[in-house]
Structure 1
Amino acid sequence: MTNRSAPVIVVGGGIVGAVTASLLDRAGWPVMLVDPGPAPVAPTGDFDLRVSAVSPGSAAILGQAGGAGALQGERACAYRRMVVEDRHPGTRIEFEAPAFGLERLGTLVENEAVRAALWQSLDDVEVVRDRVRSVDGRRGQVTLAGGRDIEADLVIACDGAGPGVRTLLGISESTWEYNQAALVCEVRCQAPNPGTAWQRFLDTGPLAFLPLASGASSIVWTLPAARARELADADQASFHAALDDAGGDWLGGVVSTGPRATFPLVMRASDRLAGPGAVLLGDAAHAVHPLAGQGVNLGLADAAALVEALLAARAAGREADADVLAGWARQRQSESGLMARGIHALGGLFGPGWLGPVRALGIRAVSASWLARDAFVRRAAGLGPGSPRLARGATLKSLLAT
């Protein structure tokens, strides 16, 4: 079969892969996107359970990649207020976006809506419907399952948490099991969600109500794995009673709930983010507890930081050599590791009942300190000191001009 050269191959057409392909294409690189699935279609009808809380920094990155439309559609819900509380009395923090100079604290949107918007921006990207069978980063060669051999200067793995390019590259990972699961579903209460992201810390794990454009909420309820399965299979009355008890009648009580799903919670960290001629982004590189809702946001920051590193190297007359990739990997491993360790430590505060007062004390301390609240919001918004320039307002045009 005839070889065809493609300087950059992005493997995986999820949100992170599509953003990476679009940014590189707009920055002037020929790009090939390898994904076996069909092109995404903007969702209609009932809300999908697979949603993301997109931070302002991630929204800026999506805008530069052509995906801003998904955050402005009628199915997206921006929230400007966040409430974090513990079940113990007197433990509540409220964050209002304008107080921190922000228009919004985040936007809840269906993953498939974001993918559909991004794929519409891939006009100049060659999309190949196939899987990767082997990767030889040193020789810059990728072989697809269909038998096609492709030469590439760089392979970017955005193919998720399962066995994929990471495994083919021989990169191992460390995994921490929590014996917890997240239960997700759409919930309607007596009062509509007023556009607030609300999270309550319980001894079993956090319960979050995230606002949907319809006035309903998308919940993420972290529970011991056995309890999550039990509630997923419970009848409506029993489930509503359990949710009312955990949520404390926040919006006047549960009226109805949609289909429920659970997924196990683990923390994963790849031992390396870069190898010869290849890098790992997003879930292919790391996964964190959903406690802080940072999964897709970390992946988008990975993508933006990589594009910035490649642009800086090109401006200096360099290729994407081992030193360039290693520098990017050190920066991103430090940033994602800091986030993962912080969430992991916070997750340890759920379990023994005696830790509840310790957790409550921490919430009170943050509530009492403007600096602590500002640092919390900046990091949650994707605007912390380690954030990519594209997250903090830079444009591809400005980066290309430097």
Structure 2
Amino acid sequence: MMQRHAPAATIAAAIALCLAMTPALAELNDQPPNAQDQTPAFPDQTRAPQIRQQIPISQTPLIRGLGNPWGMALLPDGGLLITERPGRLRLYRNGQLSQPISGLPDVDARGQGGLLDVAVAPDFAGTRQIWFSFSEPRGNGRNATSVGTGRLSEDGATLEDMRVIFRQEPAWASTLHFGSRLVFDRQGRLFVTTGERSRPEPRQLAQDVSTHLGKVLRIDPATGGPASENPFTDGRARPEIWSWGHRNIQAAALDSQGRLWTVEHGPQGGDELNLPQAGRNYGWPIITYGQDYSGAPIGQGITQREGMEQPVYYWDPVIAPSGMVFYRGGMFPELEGDALIGGLQAGAVVRLKIDGDRVTGEQRLVEGIGRVRDIEITPDGALLILTDGGELIRLARG
């Protein structure tokens, strides 16, 4: 049974417990890389200097017992939309969690699939329009990432006039690597990240620009068609494509300059932070850091090739990234402008300090909090953390 509120004693104890975000003697990179014969392409492309700054943090559980939560989005009135992979969208407001919102389509919730990300229109206060991504069943065991939109009813109970505006092609019989984060850019266009479905055969399609697999896409949120100023307009490639050669992007956010950053899952090693540029190829599966799960190299085992972009940063061993924000807020001024990335394998919030387009420092915040699936920033500057364990946790200054 779902427990909508943590007991008062538990909350009081959590608030009272202020955690130093990094133990003074902890070593961030005390494990060797999986691919020990690989070298970075430039200094600090991996294992950047460890940030040892001590920041006290309190953890307050807000919800326990969510079913495979995946994404969340804040509403202007302080409410919070939360997705659960089995196909449920819920509204958390004033300490109460709603029943599932009606009006959503069927999802294929096998494996890594289901109801995934959710995004709110910049003009939500007037339109009440939201967008969501999901793994859509396409028949004969096949599925693919799709994007839907609809209008949230005034009472928050129903998604009205729901329609699917974008469908990834081709569909595949796989339960892995759907992506998929949704990020509005400053022009009101919608970035959609996709996965390459993991299997050896579809994996190759990350390099095929006639497909949507392993891509960053940029679409018109009203029609689902290609956004204006996309790089491919001459029929040489799918016009929705912004960049390609990606593996499985589950973290994406705009920085203070309005630039899109993404973090994608690598194989065994090779998680990548990228700053995707229009029309550029990011290499998967031809070049990558890390190795296959068997210990064998990916392809020819190379990490560089002319015409393919290097990641800004990579991790080996992996953090298993999911969810990302660039911090803006008054509660933690020392984090201002830093990238905060959910770490599933890391069991922490991964902090990166970035100068221009290079990482200059890394830190693990609130280690031991569990598999961090998504991150949001509240208006007062606190952090909301969604975990694979079914918790929504508020992180505030201790």
TM bucket by the smaller chain?
under 0.3
Q: Which has the higher contact order (CA 8 A, sep 6+)?
A: 1
Higher helix share: 1
Q: Which has the larger radius of gyration?
A: 1
Higher strand share: 2
